[in-house]
Amino acid sequence: MNAKLYPLFDNIKDAHKRIESFIHRTPVLKSSLINELYNTEFYFKCENFQKVGAFKFRGATNAIRLLTDAEALNGVTTHSSGNHAAALSLAARQRGIPAYIVMPENAPQIKKIAVQSYGAKITYCEPTLEAREKTLELVQQKTGATFIHPYNNFNVISGQGTAAVELLDEAPFLDAVIAPVGGGGLLSGTAIASKAINSNIKVYGAEPLNADDACRSFKKGIIIPSVKPNTIADGLLTSLGTITFQAIRDHVDDIFTTKEETIILAMRLVWERMKIIIEPSAAVPLAIVIENKGFFKNKKVGIIFSGGNVDLNQLPF
């Protein structure tokens, strides 16, 4: 893996120009109470307020806007249990092309409804990676649609990095940025952008202990697949991709893991104190600070709240 597969900062800057008229520039919020609780100065980049309720809209929009007319002709397809599916569906609708989404049958109901509401055609499959990929292959053969991978895609990663560009535009003095990590698209883009803007900044990944494949992969230097992860953070169940793994190895300082009860505590804290809805995956970066108070003490820390798509009938508290 000598050649760099992943985007450069120039690709992320170009993506930002390309998508800024289609996305929300989400707010960066603070909470003096949460700051006092953990002796840390937090800057929360609220992608829970992004279109489709998640950062995924940035990458999907960039990828779809970069398709040639020939590539876009038969629409786009992907496999996703949630936020990428919704993001790709809306981005496709905005370009006026069809979207064909493969979703596992056990995907959260709120996310199935969202995908349908954006006009995509859903094909359900068994909740295994093998079933997802086989079903996607059949959909592609039938439709001729272009596959846009949820995270292991150059243009998707470029789009995801734009959240960090906006965060550091407002808070260039940060000591560290923390992003959740599942497949690694957000963490890759965040790390590439953050290190280019401020070479002294630290970038950390945040992962559930019950789905710690990215942490183990990072430490071992090889991709260790996610096998039967069991976490409330349903957006962080996937394994790293070849592109995201390389970007993370080159640009991320460390990956921390956190317990389920701390994720729930962090999620509840944000709901109660900041009066905003975040999903469990978005609470994982704050959870790692809660478990590592000494490490982050007196630091200025940017946290990317990755999304806010929660089934209100299935709250963990």
**pLDDT tens-digit map of 11-36:** 999 999 999 999 999 999 999 999 99
* pLDDT of amino acid 3: 67
| Mean pLDDT along residues 131-153 | 95
| H or E segment and range at residue 78 | strand 76-79
Q: 116 CB contacts (<8 Å, ≥6 apart)?
A: 122
Structure tokens at 211: 């789905």
- Supply the pTM of this predicted model: 0.95
> Lowest mean pLDDT: which of 127-131, 193-197, 204-208?
127-131
Query: What's the DSSP call for residue 161?
Result: T
Contact 266, 14 (CB under 8 A): no
Q: Identify the bridge partners of residue 147 per DSSP, sorted by sequence position.
A: 77
What does the alpha-carbon distance between residue 28 and residue 171 come to, in Å, rounded to a whole number?
9
The per-residue b/e assignment along 115-128, b for 16 or more CB within 10 angstroms, e otherwise, is beebebbeeebeee
* pLDDT of amino acid 129: 77
Q: 228 CB contacts (<8 Å, ≥6 apart)?
A: none
* pLDDT of amino acid 1: 41
Q: Tens digit of pLDDT for each residue in 244-290?
A: 999 999 999 999 999 999 999 999 999 999 999 999 999 999 999 99
The chain-wide mean pLDDT, for the chain, equals 95
* pLDDT of amino acid 2: 43
Q: Tens digit of pLDDT for each residue in 65-117?
A: 999 999 999 999 999 878 999 999 999 999 999 999 999 888 878 889 999 99
DSSP string, 237-288: -SPPPHHHHHHHHHH--EEEEE-HHHHHHHHHHHHHHH-----HHHHHHHHH
Q: How many CB atoms lie within 10 A of CB 34?
A: 21
- Judging by beta carbons within 10 Å of its beta carbon (0-12, 13-18, 19+), is residue 275 exposed, middle or buried? exposed
Question: Checking phi first, is residue 122 left (phi over 0); if not, alpha (psi -120 to 50) or beta?
Answer: beta
Helix extents (H) in 144-172: 154-160, 162-170
Q: Tens digit of pLDDT for each residue in 158-176?
A: 999 999 999 999 999 999 9
Strands 41-46 and 28-29, by their bridges, are antiparallel
What does the alpha-carbon distance between residue 41 and residue 127 come to, in Å, rounded to a whole number?
40
Residue 184 has pLDDT above 90, yes or no: yes
* pLDDT of amino acid 227: 84
Rounded to the nearest 10 degrees, the angle between the axes of helix 242-251 and helix 213-220 is: 60
| H or E segment and range at residue 77 | strand 76-79
Residue 140 has pLDDT above 90, yes or no: yes
Distance of CA 251 to the CA centre of its chain: 17
Q: How many CB atoms lie within 10 A of CB 218?
A: 23
What does the alpha-carbon distance between residue 83 and residue 56 come to, in Å, rounded to a whole number?
6
Q: What domains can be seen in the chain, in order of their start residue? A: 9-55+155-314 (3.40.50.1100), 57-151 (3.40.50.1100)
Which amino acid type is present at position 240? L
